[in-house]
Amino acid sequence: MHKETVFIVDDDASVRDSLSLLLSLQGYVSASFASAEDFLSALQPDWRGCLVVDVRMNGMSGLELQRCLQERGPTLPVIVITAHGDVAAARQAFLADAVDFIEKPFDGKQILDALANAFASLRAVATAQEASVEATPVRSQLSTREREVMKLIVEGLHNRHIADKLGISPRTVEVHKARVMEKLGVQNIVELVRLADKGLI
């Protein structure tokens, strides 16, 4: 565990096995745990690497594990995976500094790209403090109505509720939603939430 290790925490044995195989083929060292409790009981202060954790598990959830680790101070970067993605879960994960929030079923490239980002960040922190990159807010690209729709989407409201709140039709909400995602260059709600939590919109 003294090397950079990918720690897989998922109560689905098939997911643990498939991820372990994928990672070994890419040269990663991995260690698997069937529960958050198992991981915490084994965790050592000198472990280095990245955590890949499922949201819904028996006992402690992946988000609870992420929060627990965050409270302990600087620790392993976390990639959250889930078959039950929603805005609230994504927001909670990113507020706790998740590297990525990936919905199942996922392909290997998504995980490998997220891991590459996590380890690159770890190495940057190890060599020097990360430079603060000033990002230009992109909210100015949106119309007033699009900003209203976007705000309610990020808050987790569904199209029908947004329509009721703004006094427009669900179809109009869908049109504004499509324009928002096109203008901001995002593919899904998770990416939109990520932008919002980084203060870019």
Q: For 91-123, what is each residue's pLDDT tens digit?
A: 888 877 788 999 888 888 999 999 998 888 777
Give the Cα-Cα-Cα angle 49, 79, 7 (nearest 5 degrees): 40
CATH architecture of structural domain 4-127: 3-Layer(aba) Sandwich (3.40)
* pLDDT score of 153 more than 60: yes
Residues 42-55: tens digit of each pLDDT: 998 888 899 999 99
* CA-closest candidate to residue 177, choices 140, 149, 142: 149
* pLDDT score of 163 more than 90: yes
Its pTM stands at 0.60
Give the residue range(s) of CATH 3.40.50.2300 domains in the chain: 4-127
Give residue 140's pLDDT: 66
Least confident of 75-89, 127-141, 161-175: 127-141
Q: Could you say which DSSP state residue 8 is in? A: E
139-197 maps to which CATH number? 1.10.10.10
- Average model confidence (pLDDT) across the chain: 84
Mean pLDDT of all residues in 2-25:
91
* CA-closest candidate to residue 103, choices 119, 89, 122: 89
Backbone angles phi, psi at 177, to 5 degrees: -60, -45
Give the residue range(s) of CATH 1.10.10.10 domains in the chain: 139-197
Structure-model confidence comparison of residues 22 and 2, the more confident one: 22
* pLDDT score of 133 more than 60: no
Residue with tokens 């020097």: 128
* pLDDT score of 128 more than 60: no
Mean pLDDT of all residues in 162-181:
92
